Amino acid sequence: MAFSTQVIVVLIRTLIPRATNWQHVTFIATNAYVYDYTYHIIFTVHICTRNYEKTFQKLSKTFQKLSKNFPKTLVFLVRNVNDNRKKLSKNFRKTFVFLVRNVND
């Protein structure tokens, strides 16, 4: 399974609604490992804008679309790991776990 974090980020950025301002969104791949034939990629999404809630909602909808659009080859499971909203007023960080499974293997 040769999925790189860059490929996943490109997939996500391609499918995100164009209204999202990418100057304010950063994906940081913090870890990647294989477990139970599934490639886990852990991302921190850093949103630095005043309306981070709207941006985050767009991201969440996009992740849901990804899981529907790639049912045979890729399975995206997005799980919220932490929420630091109370600590950061304008800066907003979310950490997700992407489970990417190659069903053909």
**pLDDT, tens digit, for every residue of 76-95?**
544 544 444 444 444 445 55
Q: What is the reported pTM? A: 0.43
**Which amino acid, 46?**
H
- Quickly tell me which residue has 């490109």 as its tokens: 10
> Which pLDDT belongs to residue 4?
54
Q: Tally the residues of the chain.
A: 105
Whether 81 and 99 have beta carbons less than 8 Å apart is answered as: no
With 50 as the cut, is the pLDDT of residue 104 above it? Answer: no
- The distance in angstroms from the start CA to the end CA of the chain is 8
* Integer Cα distance of 60 and 78 in angstroms: 8
For 34, other C-beta atoms within 10 Å of its C-beta total 9
With 60 as the cut, is the pLDDT of residue 36 above it? Answer: yes
- Quickly tell me which residue has 């974090």 as its tokens: 5
